[in-house]
Structure 1
Amino acid sequence: MSECRIAVMDDWQRVARDVVEWNALASVGQVDFLHDYPADLQAMAQRLAPYTVLCVMRERTPLQAELLQRLPRLKLIVTGGMRNAAIDLAAAQACGILVCGGPSYRQAAPELTWALLMALSRNLVNEANSLRNGGWQLGLGQDLSGKTLGLLGLGNIGSTVAGYAKAFGMNVIAWSQNLTEARAEAVGARKVERKVLFEQADILSIHLVLSERTRHLVDSQALAWMKRGALLVNTSRGPIVEERALLAALESGRLGGAALDVFDQEPLPLDHPLRHLPNVLATPHLGYVTENNYRTFYSAMIEDILAWHGGQPIRTLTP
């Protein structure tokens, strides 16, 4: 057997071993499943030092320059999806490390978005907990039919969510920097200006890629534009919403509630107020955590490793 060692990391649920057939890599080298994640640089470097290949999930373990430079055996990183902000692609390239990605199962994130939106609008978690604790009805839920859904971003995920909203009889409006009227109309939405999006949305759902121009795009001013009691759903990336402004809007009651699957810091600290506010429905970044998506991710990682081992790498990611 080759001396090549392959580390499967970021398997928080300890499911990776059984989702796909890893024995397809027997001709490449030894596959290890790592479940110990020391936080400090020295411990991480020591832990990963023996490995030629790392299999990582999106935005979990940071693979930045200081760490990559301490891993001379590392030749290949394969990641779920075709984008991973936790990997310093320029540093990897400088260290001679190839980075490859793969496709995603595109229904996972839109389905979670809609589940959160419906649960938030009907206060399902609090109502279910009331029943579990011996109580009964707590209050009135909100209807979706006839309401306006504002989509901040209308890419693949936003467009799918727009289709769900139309099926529920909602009015759909959208905005992003590059959105055209034709694109919006093609998925049953209406393009509006940014301020109008916030002003008219009964529910705002975020579907943008995190970048320097989208970081804190939803700030205190944007939240102040929103209707009092409006709802916000974020299954995209935490830093798109300015956290301090969001907390203020929730604590004051300016926002009726928020359903959040993503946060500035993940995992969310135990004492963080977003874990405890009564008008927050928070989930632990479940957007891509489904059986079909994991099977898609890990199958692509195996394909990437086999292609690289055969001298013809595929789906390479560059700075």
Structure 2
Amino acid sequence: MLQVLRQRPRGWLALAPEIARTRTMSTTFQLDTATSRATPTPQPMRRLTVPKIRQRKKDGVTEQPLVMLTAYTARQAQLLDEHCDLLLVGDSLGQVIYGLPSTIPVTLDMMANHGAAVVRGSYHSVVIVDMPFGSYESSPQQAFESASQLLKISGAAGVKLEGGAAMAETVAFLTQRGIPVMGHVGLTPQAVNVLGGYAARGRSDAEADKIVSDARSLDEAGAFAIVVEGVVEPIAIDVTQAVGCPTIGIGASAQCDGQVLVCEDMLGMFERVPRFVKRYEEMADVISRAAATYAAEVRERSFPGEAQTYQPK
């Protein structure tokens, strides 16, 4: 945009087509099919909105559960988009994409860049971006600065943050300023150092009461949905019944208003996964076999063959 505006001697009328093209690129965030190998999702699919997601739960009931998966790249988003209601650009990308030991080292820049890729690759799903550890906890003002940057850079529809009653003020502060917020209670991975691990939550009465209370606080503060992670099933059901917004379970209960999984977990990309994961494919084996076949053909000089090489006319 700046390069276009600097060419003022040409006259504003002459620049109108360039400005229009630039604005289209900066506001739709869709893939440029002239430069991308990916085939875009058909445009007629209209993108869902946060209010539509919130309205799926009526009078405490969600007739059709919400479907959410994590996505980190444009191509991944394209493959998942038509099947999902929401795509979560999770801070789990720390482990899944970057090989980090936890979500703690993930940065705002990482989340913004991957969020932008997922938005570009999708037309239908609501895209939500995780707020990374350290980007929102100190004050509602800090959270607004971080969240507004995430949305500006990525084009996502909203953010997700972890924490219960302690984050209610922040959730209210953001929603009142036009930033949709998805909450997250139960097992909160960013607090793993305090929790001491990834064990399920809600086994004691005190812990169960706190989880339900936390969810109520977020709901009352204006969260449009709440992730309920790693919570014993009866408490996950209690949470779902206690709040007006949809709950999205992960290691919780089928009675939640929706479900989410880390995409790579359900695709079988890792040997070790949490017990709540169902592996729908074994893509690690598929990729390994393909690489092994490729390596063998290269070493025996059968690849590239005639079909993969250019010959003189």
Superposition TM-score, scaled by structure 2 size: 0.29
Bigger RCO (CA 8 Å, 6+ sep): 1
